């Protein structure tokens, strides 16, 4: 089979054997791909395989069933951010979510662009005001790409599109304040920035993370995939401390 050479974002890497590593990368046109990196545990390669790094990747395999050999060239390192607790938690979670949730070889060009945008926003504004809302939107997009999208266009109870303020945990559809009357405690808050744009205040961001987190945990991060939720809990805890 011909080699595949592509830009990619490092999402995860784990040791394999005495010297190697298996890396999982998100590519723009081929989705999530895995490959074996010879010498992946070496001093030279460890900094390349950090989550969030942008690389040029070359995959080579004799057959489609074989795990490809993978060569990497670092194009942009986000290693300096990993020494800062909040940016590190954001990068760790966004990349871990991507690696765990996506099936290999299924193209998700919108997710590649969105993840690259989130990572760039974290780099531009490590304090979180500039990227927290973008991370919520990334989670929302991932849900939609996997077939679990939320219906935020109209109220599930009244059919109208005005004053949408909640989401039904059963139907994943928006509910207006009028439609929610008397049932507010059973619904999830719908932050306005997901409908109107902008970044929202801290409470809106935390409400957004609660919303997407509910559906990720219910529909996507099940079984062994639930292990990555610990990374999300660390991030939400740190954002909660920043929000005060």
pLDDT tens column, 173-225: 999 999 999 999 999 999 999 999 988 899 999 999 999 999 999 999 999 99
CB contact at 8 A, 27 and 116: no
Tally the domains of the chain.
2
At residue 140, the pLDDT reads 98
pLDDT (tens digit, 9 = 90+) per residue, 114-161? 999 999 999 998 778 889 999 999 999 999 999 999 999 999 999 999
23-72 pLDDT tens trace: 999 999 999 999 999 988 898 999 999 999 999 999 998 777 789 999 99
Task: Quote the CA–CA distance of 55 and 77 in Å, as a whole number.
Answer: 8
Q: Is residue 94 part of a domain?
A: yes
Q: Is 175 inside any structural domain?
A: no
CATH number at residue 49: 2.40.50.140
Q: Is residue 171 part of a domain?
A: no
CA 106 to chain centre: 16
Q: Which of 45, 77, 109 is the last residue of a domain?
A: 77
Question: How is residue 195 written in tokens?
Answer: 């409908």
Domain identity same for 141 and 223: yes
Same domain, 207 and 132: yes
pLDDT at site 1: 56
19 within a domain of the structure (yes/no): yes
Residue numbers of the domain that contains 113 = 82-152+190-243
- Token pair belonging to 159: 């059919």
- Could you tell me which residue, 113 or 1, shows the higher pLDDT? 113
């Amino acid at each position: 089979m011909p080699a595949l050479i592509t830009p990619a974002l490092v999402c995860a890497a784990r040791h394999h054997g005495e010297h190697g590593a298996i890396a999982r990368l998100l590519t723009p046109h081929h989705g999530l791909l895995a490959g074996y990196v010879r010498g992946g545990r070496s001093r030279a390669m460890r900094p390349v395989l950090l989550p969030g790094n942008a690389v040029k990747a070359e995959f080579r395999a004799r057959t489609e069933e074989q795990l490809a050999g993978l060569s990497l060239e670092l194009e942009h390192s986000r290693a300096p951010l990993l020494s800062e607790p909040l940016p590190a938690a954001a990068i760790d979670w966004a990349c871990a979510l991507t690696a765990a949730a996506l099936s290999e070889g299924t193209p998700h060009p919108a997710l590649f662009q969105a993840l690259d945008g989130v990572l760039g926003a974290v780099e531009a504004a490590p304090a979180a005001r500039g990227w927290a809302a973008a991370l919520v939107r990334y989670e929302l997009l991932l849900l939609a790409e996997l077939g679990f999208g939320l219906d935020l266009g109209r109220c599930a109870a009244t059919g109208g599109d005005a004053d949408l303020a909640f989401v039904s945990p059963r139907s994943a559809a928006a509910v207006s304040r009028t439609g929610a009357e008397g049932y507010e405690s059973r619904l999830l808050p719908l932050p306005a920035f997901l409908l109107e744009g902008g970044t929202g205040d801290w409470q809106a961001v935390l409400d957004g993370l609660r919303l997407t987190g509910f559906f990720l945990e219910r529909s996507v991060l099940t079984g062994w995939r639930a292990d990555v939720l610990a990374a999300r809990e660390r991030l939400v805890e740190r954002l909660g401390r920043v929000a005060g």
